[in-house]
Amino acid sequence: MKIIVCGAGQVGWQIARHLSGERNDVTIVDNNPVLVRRATDTLDVQGVTGFASYPAILEQAGARDADMVIAATYSDEVNMVTCQVAHSVFGVTKKIARLRAQTYLDARYSDLFRREHLPIDVIISPEREVSLAAMKRVAYPAAFEVHEFFGGKALLLGLVLDDKCAVLNTPLRQLSELFPTLRVMVGGVRRGGRLFAPEPEDQLFAGDAVYLLLDAADVARVFEVFGKHAPKQERVLIIGGGNVGLSVATMLESQPERVRVKVIERDRARAELAADALERSIVLHGDAMDADLLAEARISKTDAVLVLTDDDKTNLLAAVRAKTLGAKMAISLVNDPGMVGLADAMGVDAYINPRALTVSSILRHIRHGRVRSVYMLGDREAEVIEAQVLGTSQLANRAVRDIAFPEGALLIGVLRKGVIMKPSSSMVLQEGDLIVIFALTEDVPKVDELLQVAVEFF
């Protein structure tokens, strides 16, 4: 595909990095020549310097024969105008825009993005994605990774195993024999810093980080088998009262079971705005690194701390500070993928990478076949893909054992007529089945081929 990525900041750069790595023809546009040069020097992309909303700049970037425009600049308004120009002047088929201001996403104004008004096909909201991810981390504190599949009927959970896990040193093929009614599949395993797709004879060991796909109704049983507990999160402290922090606090206030929420915000004006917007939460003005302020927030009684400022270093340090002062769990926002390893080394319980969430949201619109969801793991190490089995694809009406899945890919879930099923080698996939596949990044193109329909479908 020929794709124009507008905006060479962290989000645009990550999108271009991923798409160019999959042999797409990518051109990146930004008005900052330094950022454009960084992209062209480090990635297999072309670069154009200028304002993405200018028709002449889009034409120079190849908009006349582009398949897609992804507008991910820092300005919502530039992103919207870019999509309008791409549609009206160049007839670009697919237009994706990143919008940060929540007022644009209000359901009352949804007509704004109709084809005859502002023709945006897909809206990506990093703030909303991060807020939802933070809520899932709070809901499942034992997991370092949480993502929903099959419309919330299945969960992907990342768990670090310890000696309490009941299935250590047990071949994976025996899990079905030991727990025949438990709908859980082991996807990826990270051991010694390496992520791999396990074989049926592989065993799990203490210290392994595993990715499990399970029926959402089986969470309690899965936690029991894998030696985890799920305490209620009754007291939550949010550090950072910006768009994300305010959104998470609002969501927590609306939970059926009451959650006591406190927010710390360094900027006075922003703290006052948050205090006015929230109904039951307590907003404190000050520096989250201040031990006295954290004591005032009763940090030692806090079940979870969410550090959601826009500075990675502040987030990591504040998370560690909160843990040392008694917080049971600390979750940090980490924008730079290169700092993820540092978060683990510093003892941060879980992290949220908004760039990865944004790229994941966009990837499902790039894939062939009827891909419904894509979730990236690590720093482009693997993907978990949800797709529908199409009638003339290489998957339909074939037993799993007869499908040429690449070595680094595993079929880990099937939804058929609303029922989640554990895949087996003898299972025959049917047209219309929804499936979830774990795939290492180098094997994603082969999985993409399996999901495509044959030519005769058209």
How would you write the pLDDT of the chain (458 residues) with one tens digit per residue?
A: 899 999 998 889 988 988 888 778 999 999 999 999 999 999 999 999 999 999 999 999 999 999 999 999 999 999 999 999 999 999 999 999 999 887 888 778 878 888 788 899 989 888 888 898 999 988 898 898 899 999 999 999 999 999 999 999 999 999 888 888 889 999 999 998 899 999 999 999 999 999 999 999 999 999 999 999 877 789 999 999 998 999 999 999 988 888 999 999 999 999 999 999 999 999 999 999 999 999 999 999 999 999 999 899 999 999 999 999 999 999 999 987 778 778 878 888 888 888 788 888 887 777 766 888 899 888 788 999 999 999 888 999 999 999 999 999 999 999 999 999 999 999 999 999 999 999 999 999 899 889 886 544 43
Residues 113 and 167 in one domain: no
Q: Please give the Cα distance from 440 to 377 (Å, whole number).
A: 9
Two tokens, residue 91: 């007839």
Q: How many Cα neighbours within 13 Å face the side chain of 202?
A: 15
The amino acid at residue 337 is P
* pTM, two decimal places: 0.83
Q: In terms of domains, do 139 and 196 share one?
A: yes
For the chain, the domain total comes to 4
Residue 408 inside a domain? The answer is yes
144 contacts 209 by C-beta, under 8 angstroms: yes
Tokens describing residue 36: 């454009």
CATH number at residue 267: 3.40.50.720
Measured between alpha carbons, how far is 434 from 403 in angstroms, rounded to an integer?
16
Q: Are 158 and 187 in contact (CB under 8 A)?
A: no
154 shares a domain with 89: no
Report CA 439 to chain centroid distance, whole Å.
Answer: 15
Asked whether residue 33 is assigned to any structural domain, the reply reads yes
Tally Cβ neighbours within 10 Å of residue 227: 17
Query: Do residues 430 and 394 both lie within one domain?
Result: yes
Whether 189 and 241 map to the same domain: the answer is: no
CA distance 219 to 156: 10
Please report whether residue 230 resides in a domain: no
Looking at the structure, do residues 272 and 297 belong to the same domain, yes or no? yes
As a whole number of angstroms, the longest Cα–Cα distance in the chain is 69
Domain end call among 357, 384, 403: 357
Encoded tokens for 150: 């099959």
Three-state SS string over 212-256 comes to EEEEHHHHHHHHHHCCCCCCCCCEEEEECCCHHHHHHHHHHHCCC
Among 197, 225, 253, give the residue marking a domain's end. Answer: 225
Task: Please say whether the beta carbons of 154 and 148 come within 8 A.
Answer: yes
Q: Give the strand pairing for 235-239 and 209-215.
A: unpaired
* Domain range for 314: 235-357
371 and 437: one domain?
Answer: yes
- How many CA atoms are closer than 13 Å to the CA of 183, on its beta-carbon side? 18
Query: How many CB atoms within 10 Å of residue 375?
Result: 23
Instruction: Give the C-alpha separation, 15 to 327, whole Å.
Output: 35
Do 345 and 246 share a structural domain?
yes
Local structure of residue 61 (DSSP, 8 states): T
Query: What is the distance between the alpha carbons of residues 278 and 299, in angstroms, rounded to a whole number?
Result: 20
Residue 220: CATH number of its domain: 3.30.70.1450
Q: Are residues 262 and 351 located together in one domain of the fold?
A: yes
- Regarding whether 98 and 13 lie in a shared domain, the answer is yes
96, 124, 152 - which closes a domain: 124
- Say if residue 312 is in the same domain as residue 298: yes
Helix axes of 354-363 and 10-20: crossing angle, nearest 10 degrees: 40
The distance of Cα 40 from the centroid of its chain, to the nearest Å, equals 26
**Position 328: which residue type?**
K
352, 341 in Cβ contact below 8 A?
A: no
194 and 265 fall within a common domain: no
